[in-house]
Chain A
């Protein structure tokens, strides 16, 4: 089945040690998103790619970067994780229909990041 895949489901890193989270999709969607969800809070958009065009949310810290080497893969890089970056990180995709239209987002299962 076509889907959004995030591995691993759990990632442990040390304070200040760079970490990369990965997302892949078999839906061939143009748009890929990264959300951060802290405990008991709603998901918050960090940034998204429309094809190769990167769009950063205004309040996303510089510590968070992203790469999209091809249509299928997107990575979230946290350069120097702090304790406050411990969260669930959700990847999502959507078609990105030209001319607008009604789109839905398809979410992966998330990667829970623990910072020690």
Chain B
């Protein structure tokens, strides 16, 4: 699986958009980009994933560059409850399951 690089931490003002970058320069053509987050003392929570097109759901938007070497997770209106560690993971889907290799993640602090 391709490795990912994320900033260790970021701050965001409440109500503003939070833009979390992820570099995955060695991604291959069949690898998906997944984003999970982990709020303190809870299990990780799936946010969104994509292959090459931009994706949006009720939680966030995912912007993937044309060369697929980087992506950005966008939380359009961050709230205090969005304070968490955000993990960017690239992964090939196979028949045996979807093993996730978590990297360091970005610790997002949403401030009032």
User: Interface on A for B, CB 8 Å cutoff?
Assistant: 4, 30-31, 33, 42-45, 48, 50, 53, 55, 90, 92, 94, 96-110
Contact = CB atoms under 8 A, between A and B. Distances in A.
Given A33-B99, A100-B93, 10 more contacts: A42-B103, A43-B100, A43-B102, A45-B99, A55-B97, A96-B96, A96-B97, A101-B93, A102-B32, A104-B46
Interface residues on B, range: 20 to 34
Contacts of B38: 43
7 contacts: A4-B43, A43-B38, A50-B97, A100-B95, A104-B34, A110-B41, A110-B43
Nearest to A32: B97
Contacts of A104: 34, 46, 49, 98
A50 B93 CA distance: 14
Contact of B46 (A31, A53, A105, A109): A105
A103 to B, nearest CB: 4
A48 B98 CA distance: 10
Given A42-B87, A42-B103, A42-B104, A55 B42 contact: no
Nearest to B38: A43
A99 B44 contact: no
A90 B43 contact: yes
B94 to A, nearest CB: 6
A39 B97 CA distance: 26
A53 B94 CA distance: 15
B45 interface: yes
A53 B95 CA distance: 13
A101 B94 CA distance: 8
Contacts of B99: 33, 45, 48
Contacts of B95: 96-100
A100 B94 contact: yes
